[in-house]
């Protein structure tokens, strides 16, 4: 099986879906002539042309809004937010239009739109450009929120998002673009809303996704050297949230750590922990611990920024805290 980067996996998914379905097109800032600010759509403009790879003005609300309208009319747009921080300017179109229109009109209209957004901190971009606000979007029924942690999942989940009839926010972590993994040549999808055991273990359950999946896998390797076998569950999708693999794992290990890159308050850790307590209180051997970003606007200085972001060692220590 070929080993490719996350960037290549996402690019392949887009390319293959555009080849497969004429209704699929891309719109966003610098997606065309520039080739994508993260080079995900490099070569697309020349191959598919300006009608299907549409450079837009800098107007996020209207990028997503036009994508929503085109989706209502039967196309399958992929709207790119250059970074998820700019998606705040499109908040109304994402959570109040895309997420509501199917239900609000009694099922008459569908919004088969995919909104790709790049998020995450750790690149010294300062507070406004470094958000990991995934959980905010996951609050809204009607929207699906997906964030892959491996190239395999990125390609399969993106294809599922494009082929599905619901609006999907597809969140990519910029620091993962160079992450490598095996991706088959043949066509496949990864269904949205299915959590996945990424590493088997018996001593503790680490629940995570996206960038923190890679961080957690590294922590698990360090722990293994000390004889601690962590089971790592990748949520992959925040809405719908598939808790079954988490609960199954927890009933086996009786201990859990939840690792996310965003802030702790009102976060995924809180949601997952409560769901574990609700479903498996009798299996709890230690209070669940959360690993998350320090509660500050992310600073520019490299050392301060890394101090604020959750690290491998934070996961290791949290695991030891529940053992």
Cβ atoms of 8 and 176 closer than 8 Å: no
Nearest C-alpha neighbor of 28 from the set 2, 59, 70, 56: 56
Q: What are the backbone angles phi and psi of residue 279, rounded to the nearest 5°?
A: -95, -20
- Cβ contacts of residue 278 below 8 Å, gap of 6+? none
Q: Omega of the bond prior to 73 within 30 degrees of 0, cis? A: no
Residue 60 annotated in active site: yes
Nearest C-alpha neighbor of 11 from the set 155, 185, 168, 212: 155
Helix (H, G, I), strand (E, B) or coil at 118: strand
Catalytic residue among 60, 231, 261, 271: 60
Helix (H, G, I), strand (E, B) or coil at 213: helix
State in angstroms the smallest separation of the CB of 91 from other proteins: 11
Size of the site for other proteins (CB under 8 A): 49
State in angstroms the smallest separation of the CB of 163 from other proteins: 6
Count CB atoms within 10 A of the CB of residue 47.
11
Which position among 116, 129, 131, 144 is part of the footprint of other proteins (CB under 8 A)? 144
Strands 168-173 and 196-199 turn out to be unpaired
Restricting to residues 172-191, which ones interact with other proteins according to CB under 8 A? 189-191
Which position among 2, 103, 300, 302 is part of the footprint of other proteins (CB under 8 A)? 103
Which position among 16, 166, 242, 317 is part of the footprint of other proteins (CB under 8 A)? 166
Cβ atoms of 27 and 79 closer than 8 Å: yes
Which position among 11, 93, 175, 216 is part of the footprint of other proteins (CB under 8 A)? 93
- Judged by beta carbon, residue 22 or residue 182, the one nearer other proteins is 22
Contact status: 25 vs other proteins (CB under 8 A): yes
What six digits make up the tokens of 98?
């895309």
- Judged by beta carbon, residue 191 or residue 287, the one nearer other proteins is 191
State in angstroms the smallest separation of the CB of 178 from other proteins: 28
Which position among 1, 3, 39, 104 is part of the footprint of other proteins (CB under 8 A)? 104
State in angstroms the smallest separation of the CB of 162 from other proteins: 9
Contact status: 192 vs other proteins (CB under 8 A): yes
Which position among 3, 42, 105, 184 is part of the footprint of other proteins (CB under 8 A)? 105
Strands 230-234 and 204-208 turn out to be parallel
Contact status: 227 vs other proteins (CB under 8 A): no
Q: How far apart are CA 141 and CA 219, in angstroms?
A: 33
Catalytic residue among 17, 29, 102, 129: 129
Which position among 81, 85, 102, 276 is part of the footprint of other proteins (CB under 8 A)? 102
Count CB atoms within 10 A of the CB of residue 294.
13
- Judged by beta carbon, residue 23 or residue 264, the one nearer other proteins is 23
Cβ atoms of 231 and 205 closer than 8 Å: yes
State in angstroms the smallest separation of the CB of 277 from other proteins: 25
State in angstroms the smallest separation of the CB of 134 from other proteins: 19
Nearest C-alpha neighbor of 79 from the set 111, 109, 33, 125: 111
The binding site for other proteins (CB under 8 A) comprises 25, 51, 54, 56-57, 59, 61-62, 64-75, 77, 92-93, 96-97, 101-110, 112, 141-142, 144, 160, 163-166, 189-193
Residues with active-site annotation: 60, 129
């Amino acid at each position: 099986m070929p080993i490719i980067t996350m960037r290549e996996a996402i690019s392949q998914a887009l390319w293959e879906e555009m080849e497969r379905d004429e209704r699929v097109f891309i719109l966003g800032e610098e997606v065309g002539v520039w080739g994508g600010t993260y080079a995900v759509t490099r070569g697309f403009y020349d191959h598919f042309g300006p009608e299907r790879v549409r450079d837009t003005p800098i107007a996020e609300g209207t990028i997503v809004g036009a994508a929503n309208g085109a989706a209502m009319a039967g196309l399958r747009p992929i709207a790119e937010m250059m970074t998820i921080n700019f998606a705040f300017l499109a908040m109304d179109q994402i959570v109040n239009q895309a997420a509501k229109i199917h239900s609000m009109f009694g099922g008459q209209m569908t919004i088969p739109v995919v909104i790709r957004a790049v998020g995450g901190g750790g690149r010294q971009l300062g507070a406004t450009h470094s958000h990991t606000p995934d959980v905010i979007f996951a609050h809204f029924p009607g929207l699906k929120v997906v964030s892959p942690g491996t190239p395999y999942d990125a390609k399969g989940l993106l294809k599922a998002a494009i082929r599905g009839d619901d609006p999907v926010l597809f969140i990519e972590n910029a620091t993962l673009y160079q992450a490598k993994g095996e991706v088959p040549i043949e066509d496949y999808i990864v269904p949205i809303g299915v959590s996945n055991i990424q590493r088997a273990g018996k001593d503790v359950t680490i629940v995570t996704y996206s960038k923190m999946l890679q961080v957690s896998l590294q922590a698990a390797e360090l722990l293994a050297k000390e004889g601690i076998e962590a089971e790592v569950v990748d949520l992959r999708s925040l809405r719908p949230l598939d808790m079954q693999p988490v609960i199954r794992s927890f009933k086996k290990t009786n201990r859990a750590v939840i690792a996310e890159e965003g802030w702790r308050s009102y976060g995924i850790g809180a949601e997952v922990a409560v769901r574990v307590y609700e479903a498996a209180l009798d299996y709890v051997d230690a209070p669940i611990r959360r690993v998350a970003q320090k509660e500050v606007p992310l600073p520019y200085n490299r050392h301060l920024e890394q101090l604020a972001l959750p690290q491998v060692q934070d996961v290791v220590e949290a695991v030891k805290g529940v053992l």
